A and B are shown apart, each in its own frame.
Chain A
Amino acid sequence: MGYLKHWWKVLAAVLVLYALIIGMTIPLRNGIVSDKSSMTLKTGQKQTLTVLFYNARYKKEKPEAITARIRIDSAKAICAESVTITAERSLDLKFNIPTIDPNSIKAPFPFIEIGSPENGYVFSSVYLSASADSITNNETSFCTASYLAPSTKPSFPFLNILEESIRNLLYHVPMWFGMMLLLLISVIYSVLQLTKPEGLKNDIAAKSFAGIGVLYGVLGIITGALWAKHTWGAYWSWDVKQNTSAVALLIYLAYFVLRSSFDDADKKARISAVYNIFAFATLIPLIYIIPRMVDSLHPGAEGNPAFSSYDLDNNLRLVFYPAVVGFILLGIWIATIWIRIEKIWQRKIETL
């Protein structure tokens, strides 16, 4: 029954696999990809709006089952007179826009919302402009905005620019969560090394956990730069979080440089433990405090440094938290192997 003690390694593998498989296979929700110019309507005119979608299957629907309307305020809407399914991912909506003053509509209105049984609920900004042409609709008749049900199938949110790369949340962010926890474990071992200076057991553990923690941080920076290239437009935008995390990693790299500069093992253990505590103490303001004080391209810069705009999405959460736990356990697993190798190495040096 000796295998039972390895349960957490099995859990690590299962959770990381779950994050990879489920995180890559759950489809994105239906979303509107039309640009601003094609989403502009003139007031007082009859016109057709061609809307293009992402991940939609409108050929499965009956046109009568599709509700499309432009919301003017919390109760009123302009309903489409007819809906034509032109392709799997495109709809033609005929609107008869009444004469209303576009400036009288307050944000977030007006927006278009489309609901149907198969494809669920989608909405997007729409732009109304006062028409200089002859007015064909003098009526100001509105329909009431009833509730449109979202799709019940599991899906991730569709956000413009992010698109499928929203899945990176499940792989890039766990690197940072993992780094923080592994470095915390490392600093605990450093404190233990200082309180019980006999032996190098705790020093070895501190070094190994810092090593895998820094690896996670480096992977977080590289994956973040890749993601930034295709969403923010550049690998490095000098965003506050990019800068502070790069500084934090440089401080930790100095920890390894410091370690390699000692010949005496006890001196090395003591001084690098002190440095590790210092490094962790600077990590807290760099990762948790400064990013909250400055504007950032990262989501949730206003108070919450994590990802407040998505953390309401339950489907992402169901994969994100297991991914975090899985990558942390994987890191601890690798660290324990590293510690065992270092301990054998240490014993060898002592016997020689």
Chain B
Amino acid sequence: MNTIKKYLLTGFAAIFLALTAYGQTASTKSDFFESTGKIYVVVAVIVVIFLGILALLISLERRLAKIEKEEKEL
């Protein structure tokens, strides 16, 4: 469980750092997303789908970890 928390924290930290770094380069959000033919809208959509599937995989892993833990205790 602790390792997953660590992964999640690292993930959030990475997203936060990326967002702050990006906030300094682009003037406004919509300018960035609507530059170069709105290709970043597509990138954002793919990232959202990937993160959604990843979140489900993490929750499945946690369930499995719970079972493994009880297996050890028995």
Contact = CB atoms under 8 A, between A and B. Distances in A.
Instruction: Say if A and B assemble together.
Output: yes
Interface of A: 20, 24, 28, 54, 162-165, 167-168, 171-172, 175, 211-212, 215, 218-219, 222-223, 226-227, 229-231, 330, 334, 337-338, 341-342, 344-345, 348
B18 interface: no
* Chain B facing A: main interface SS: helix
B46 to A, nearest CB: 6
Interface in B31-59: 33-34, 36-39, 41-42, 44-46, 48-49, 52-53, 56-57
B57 to A, nearest CB: 7
Given A164-B39, A165-B39, 12 more contacts: A165-B41, A168-B42, A168-B45, A171-B45, A171-B46, A175-B49, A218-B52, A227-B45, A230-B41, A334-B56, A341-B63, A348-B67
Contacts of A164: 36-39, 41-42
A226 B48 contact: yes
4 tightest Cβ-Cβ pairs between the two chains A and B: A164-B37, A164-B39, A163-B37, A223-B45
B30 interface: yes
Contacts of A342: 63
A345 B63 contact: yes
A61 B48 CA distance: 41
Nearest to B71: A348
Interface of B: 30, 33-34, 36-39, 41-42, 44-46, 48-49, 52-53, 56-57, 60, 63-64, 67, 70
A226 B45 CA distance: 7
Contact of B60 (A165, A171, A338): A338
Contact of A230 (B34, B48, B63, B67): B34
A226 B37 contact: no
B33 to A, nearest CB: 5
Nearest to B43: A24
Nearest to A338: B60
A249 B46 CA distance: 21
Contacts of A226: 41, 44-45, 48
Contacts of B38: 162-165, 230-231
B64 A348 contact: no
